[in-house]
Amino acid sequence: MGNVTLIGLPLALLLPLGLSLAVGRPFIGYLKRLNAGQRVRDDGPQRHLQKEGTPTMGGLMIVGVVLITVLLAVAVLPAGLEIRLRLVYLCAITVAFGAIGFADDWLKIARGRSLGLKARHKLLWQVVAASALVGLFGVFTPSIRPFSAGVGVVWVVLLIATSNAVNLADGLDGLAAGLGLIATAGLLWFAAKLGTPTVLTFGLALLGACLGFLWFNRHPARLFMGDVGSLALGGALAGMAMMLQAPVVLLGLCLVPFVEAGSVAIQVISFKTTGKRVFKMSPLHHHFELCGWSERRVVWTFWGVGLLAAAATIALGWERWG
């Protein structure tokens, strides 16, 4: 791993960060010319109405920058064939889930409303993508024993669940991007302890791209990631965890997005069974907004909880991988 670490890892972080910062403003201008603006739900917090029209699909920048960085690493770094295959595999996961999000975003823009793909159609495509990708895991990792049927099903579920959880957490300026940074940093720690250059290289590329994106997505946001970004980010996080074979680590590092997803499930079940709502609005970040919290307070609090969860996950994993 020496040459890959010494030569590739600094480049894997700095290149996507620089690219994101360089192309961010022109990309925002391009999205404005396309009229690719955010469509805001009219039943949400009223202060969100001022976000109407803010350029969305910023996740295309994240995905594009990661692909450029990782594929450049595949082409030029002195790495073995399997490392290259694994990097391509992580890119495939990111692109597959990003493509589903892109279709959702594009339909929202084309229709001029906040509804894109129907939920069942989105879930169907996620099941197809996750099943195919998990089935191909052994092709891209020939030195690792293929998943058993039961373990494969677990990873299909985790790919779908993580992408949707990050998607649901993407409702406030900087929230999903910041939580994605925290989870990625945690996965990088475990990758370093396990000596996994594939996840190190890919994770640093994702970290740099998200850092650059967050510069434009911080409050007040000039750019939203859209479903193309949130689904791709969630898929990428689950893909890295799958490469590390660490499902419990994924749950700990993505605790806040999973809690957000859980709040939606609780709200739906409660309303359908009792006609009552548990939260003022779901996902959970909207509940706190309607309780009077400022957007910045919600985001910083959720980031703080995410950091604590990541620290606890790392501490609990120290005995095994420390």
The pLDDT of residue 52 = 73
Q: What is the mean pLDDT of residues 179-198?
A: 94
* pLDDT of residue 4 exceeding 50: no
Each residue's pLDDT tens digit, 251-272: 999 999 999 999 999 999 999 9
Neighbours of 219 (CB within 10 A): 13
Neighbours of 116 (CB within 10 A): 22
* pLDDT of residue 3 exceeding 50: no
The pLDDT of residue 41 = 60
Phi, psi of 142 (to 5 degrees): -60, -20
Domain ranges of the chain: 2-245
* Whole-number Å distance between alpha carbons of 44 and 16: 34
* Whole-number Å distance between alpha carbons of 48 and 178: 19
* Whole-number Å distance between alpha carbons of 194 and 191: 5
CA 200 to chain centre: 16
The pLDDT of residue 37 = 73
Residue pair 230/94 in contact (Cβ under 8 Å)? The answer is: no
Lowest-confidence segment of 7-21, 59-73, 181-195 by average pLDDT? 7-21
Q: What rounded mean pLDDT belongs to the chain?
A: 90
Higher pLDDT, 81 or 299: 299
The pLDDT of residue 45 = 65
The pLDDT of residue 11 = 77
Question: Sign of the C-alpha dihedral, residues 17, 21, 23, 24?
Answer: positive
Residue pair 71/90 in contact (Cβ under 8 Å)? The answer is: no
Neighbours of 304 (CB within 10 A): 12
Q: Which residue has the tokens 């073995």?
A: 80
DSSP 52: T
Show the tokens assigned to 95.
Answer: 């692109």
* pLDDT of residue 149 exceeding 90: no
* pLDDT of residue 6 exceeding 60: no
Residue pair 153/240 in contact (Cβ under 8 Å)? The answer is: no
* pLDDT of residue 77 exceeding 80: no
